[in-house]
Amino acid sequence: MHGPDPDRRYPLTGAGTERLGFLKNFVTNPRIVVGDYTYYDDPEGPAAFERHVLYHFDFIGDVLRIGKFCAIAAGATFVMNGSNHRQDGFSTYPFAVFGNGWSGLDPQESVFPYKGDTTIGNDVWIGYDALFMPGVRVGDGAIVAARSVVTADVEPYAVVGGNPAREIRTRFDAATVAALLEIAWWDWSAEKITRNLCAIGGVDLEALRRAT
């Protein structure tokens, strides 16, 4: 065997294991793209995830991208671009949306702030109730502490926390981070990953480099 089947909804068996699932097999929105082996753990079950992707309107077209091998705790919430209001006038109220004589302002997409797609890298650990604002990018290997509010991009292998989330520390020195990003073990085949689990979970960079 070469690890669990990423196309299986529930990778674990036994009582209570229905709360954890490989997320890509539960999302139904084509503008939520999730990589293999990324899991979501929620007492309400993995199907609850999409309820935490907010203001994700089709007419805007933004995408939530989540990489491979991410661990996402219950309550992680992603606020998408449909939440944004204009800030250049005296009022932020979206009058034009409601019509009925209130359509004097043109409700085109271009007049609303747009931050782009939200992107979570590979091997990212997202803690309980973390909140992500529109358009943020979280680098590979990062850790987002529980109940953090992520309003800006997170560097690869950084640990962030707080409201707004700030970098607490980096997991490794810059040279090691660069090497890990180049190795990109999450793109290896399942067979190669299985053969090298100790190197992936360890701290011997040369062993990871020598992996075959």
Residue 85 catalytic? yes
Residues linked to residue 119 through DSSP beta bridges, in sequence order: 65, 137
Taking phi over 0 as left and psi of -120 to 50 as alpha, with beta for the rest, 60 belongs to: alpha
CA distances from 51 to 26, 44, 48, 133, 181 (A): 12, 11, 6, 15, 32
Distance CA 128, CA 52 (A): 12
* Continuous segment of H or E residues that includes residue 118: strand 118-120
- Are residues 22 and 71 in contact, defined by beta-carbon separation less than 8 angstroms? no
Three-class SS of residue 191? helix
Tokens of 83: 């939440």
**Side-chain half-sphere of 125: how many Cα atoms within 13 Å?**
11
Q: Which of 2, 52, 56, 85 is catalytic?
A: 85
Residues linked to residue 77 through DSSP beta bridges, in sequence order: 131
- Sheet with 131-132: list strands edge to edge: 53-54, 77-79, 131-132, 149-150
Q: Can you tell me which residue has the tokens 């970098």?
A: 167
Kindly compute the dihedral angle of the four CA atoms of residues 210, 197, 124, 169, in this order, to the nearest 10 degrees.
Answer: -70
Residue positions annotated with a catalytic role: 85
